[in-house]
């Protein structure tokens, strides 16, 4: 793992760590050869021309599917999970909808910019 990414991950609080690690493992499980780096101040995983990012906020962990409009279906299906314009902001009490998130990860990595 890139040194900057490792420093960011090491700074994740104990309360967020299990949730953050699950999302990280989900991304790496789909794209084990993804290159890690820091973009926009958060760890970013790049593969096949696309990328996704992981960060955290005061109440949980954020997932960023950069470059595409992949969240409309997710918002409709999971209205209780907080989303932003290009972010899913998971609270630590949210259950990770693994199948839906894998779909978004694949779209963001393999079809960047909504292609």
Q: What is the rounded average pLDDT of the residues 29-47?
A: 94
CATH class label, 3-114:
alpha beta
- Cβ neighbours of 56 (radius 10 Å): 21
Q: What share of the chain is helix, strand, coil (3-state, %, to 5)?
A: 40, 25, 35
pTM score > 0.95 for this model? no
DSSP string, 16-31: THHHHHHHHHHHHHH-
Residue 76 DSSP label: H
Q: What is the pLDDT of residue 67?
A: 64
**Average of per-residue pLDDT values in the chain:** 91
Task: List, for residues 92-113, the tens digit of each pLDDT value.
Answer: 999 999 999 999 999 999 886 6
**Mean pLDDT along residues 37-64:** 94
Q: How far apart are CA 98 and CA 114, in angstroms?
A: 21
Tell me if 37 sits within 8 A of 44, measured CB to CB: yes
Q: Domain residues of the chain, as ranges?
A: 3-114
Query: If pLDDT is split at 50, 70 and 90, which confidence band does 115 have?
Result: very low
Q: What is the pLDDT of residue 91?
A: 97
pLDDT at position 66 is 83
């Amino acid at each position: 793992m890139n040194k900057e990414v490792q420093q960011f991950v090491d700074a994740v609080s104990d309360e967020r760590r299990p949730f953050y690690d699950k999302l990280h493992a989900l991304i790496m499980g789909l794209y084990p050869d993804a290159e890690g780096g820091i973009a926009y101040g958060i760890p970013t995983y790049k593969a096949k021309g696309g990328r996704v990012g992981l960060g955290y906020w005061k109440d949980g962990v954020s997932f960023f599917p950069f470059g595409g409009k992949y969240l409309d279906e997710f918002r409709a299906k999971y209205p209780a999970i907080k989303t932003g314009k290009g972010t899913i902001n998971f609270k630590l009490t949210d259950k990770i909808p693994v199948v839906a998130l894998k779909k978004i990860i694949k779209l963001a990595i393999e079809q960047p910019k909504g292609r």
